[in-house]
Structure formats: C-alpha cells, structure tokens
C-alpha cells in the first residue's frame, strides 16, 4: 500500500461520518501523519494553522507558555524562531525540554508534542532570517525580547538606530536570534468525537522507531 493510500485509510471514517483515527494510523510515521493533519488545516482555511503554544520550564519546574509560529517540520523535528535572550530561550538553555500544543478548532483536532530542544545551526537560521522582510529583520535587531521596556519611544529609537546602522547594507542575522528544534519524543493526535468519546493516539519514540498507544479520552 502506498503511503498516500495508507494515510487515506487511516483517516477514513468507520463510524457513520465522524472522522476518527482508524487503526491504520498506528502504522504511519507520526511526522507524515502530522503533515497530513497540517495540510488539512491549511486546506480548510484555518487562520494561522502554524500558531502553536510552546511550554518551557525553569530549572525548579515552574512552567510558562506562549504562542510561537512553526516554521518547518521534518523527521528531525519542529522548528520555531526567537530571540536567544528571551525568557523562553533562557529557560530552554537551562532545561532543554519543551512541549508544543496545536489546536485546529474547526477540525476538532489537537496535536501535542514533547521532546528535547536544541538550537539549529546559524546557517539554517540565516536561511530563514534572510527570507523575512526588511522590517522584521530590523525589528529583530531592535528588540531585547522579554527585557523590561521603559516606554514605547525607547523601542522606536532602537528601531531608528538599527535602520541607520544597516541603511546601506543588507540586515545581517543578529547573533542573539535564531531557531530551536524540538526533537519529538512523543506526538499525540487527538480527534474530537461525539459524546466526548474522543480518539487519542500517542506515538512514542523508541530508538529509531515509534510505538503507539491509545488513551482514554
């Protein structure tokens, strides 16, 4: 069976119309499965399907969460970009573990990811940074993300300074800015179903392979 047809089988409805997660999904690679759900969210027209909650913790276990944008995903993991001096980065540098939670409400779908986090290479960060508009690149230089800001004028001054500094030149990648990759240890797919009898399927990494398990809703 081709990967496309196994994915179709995995998504097929077996219960009179409510789309569930069929047993065939258990044989899929979870990154491929994520790609199918992500594409479905895009095709459905969900606003910013790439928006995802990112949870980190301090070393003594206090959690914090905020939204980030997923910029790429492949078998190595899920990548987002940020300021390496931000609160999230400082927590990730001390405790390089994170959780992601996507919610595509109109499709009644949630995907949860947990895993170890690492910085991506400066080359990879540069490749993405240089694809951003000039305004965003200047903004990255101007923002000391998560530090106290005395007033809006201070930020605007810093934007002007960065504009002058790079007036002639291309805006280079700030040394304090780049991507993180979450290497998934678990990926859980949740599909809403009638009477709160939702489907939950968890993939857990086991060496180079994945094991699967169903959970009560």
Ligand X SMILES: Cc1cc2nc3c(=O)[nH]c(=O)nc-3n(C[C@H](O)[C@H](O)[C@H](O)COP(=O)(O)O)c2cc1C
Nearer to ligand X, 60 or 208 (CB): 60
How many of the other CB atoms lie within 10 Å of CB of 90?
Answer: 14
Region class of 61: left (phi > 0), else alpha (psi between -120 and 50), else beta: left
Question: Which residues of the shown chain bind ligand X in the complex (CB under 6 A)?
Answer: 51, 64, 66-69, 80-82, 86-88, 145-146
Distance of CA 139 to the CA centre of its chain: 21
Q: What DSSP line would sit under 166-189, residue for residue?
A: TSSS--PPPTTEEEEEEEEEEEEE
Q: Give me 216's structure tokens.
A: 């009560």
Nearer to ligand X, 147 or 213 (CB): 147
Q: How far is the CB of 71 from ligand X (least distance, A)?
A: 7
Which pairing describes strands 63-69 and 199-206: parallel, antiparallel, or unpaired?
unpaired
Nearer to ligand X, 63 or 217 (CB): 63
Q: How far is the CB of 208 from ligand X (least distance, A)?
A: 29
Dist CA 69 CA 81 (whole Å): 8
Q: What are phi and psi of 169, to 5 degrees?
A: -100, 170
Q: How far is the CB of 131 from ligand X (least distance, A)?
A: 14
Q: How far is the CB of 30 from ligand X (least distance, A)?
A: 23
Nearer to ligand X, 58 or 211 (CB): 58
At which residue do the structure tokens 């914090």 appear? 64
Residue 134 annotated as catalytic: no
Q: Which of 112, 119, 196, 205 is catalytic?
A: 196
Residues identified as active-site: 196
């Amino acid at each position: 069976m081709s990967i496309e047809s196994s994915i179709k089988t995995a998504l097929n409805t077996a219960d009179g119309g409510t789309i569930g997660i069929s047993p065939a999904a258990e044989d899929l690679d979870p990154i491929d499965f994520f790609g199918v759900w992500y594409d479905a969210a895009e095709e459905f027209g969900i606003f910013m399907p790439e928006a995802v909650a990112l949870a980190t913790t301090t070393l003594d276990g206090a959690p914090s969460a905020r939204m980030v944008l997923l910029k790429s995903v492949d078998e190595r993991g899920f990548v987002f970009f940020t300021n390496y001096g931000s609160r999230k980065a400082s927590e990730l540098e001390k405790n390089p573990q994170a959780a992601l939670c996507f919610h595509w409400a109109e499709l009644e779908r949630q995907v949860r990811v947990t895993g170890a986090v690492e910085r991506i290479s400066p080359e990879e960060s540069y490749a993405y940074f240089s694809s951003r508009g000039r305004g965003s690149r200047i903004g990255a230089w101007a923002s000391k993300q998560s530090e106290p800001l005395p007033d809006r004028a201070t930020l605007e001054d810093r934007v002007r300074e960065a504009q002058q500094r790079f007036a002639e030149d291309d805006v280079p990648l700030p040394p304090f800015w780049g991507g993180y990759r979450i290497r998934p240890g678990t990926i859980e797919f949740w599909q809403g179903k009638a009477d709160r009898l939702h489907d939950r399927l968890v993939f857990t990494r086991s060496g180079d392979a994945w094991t699967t398990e169903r959970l009560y809703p």
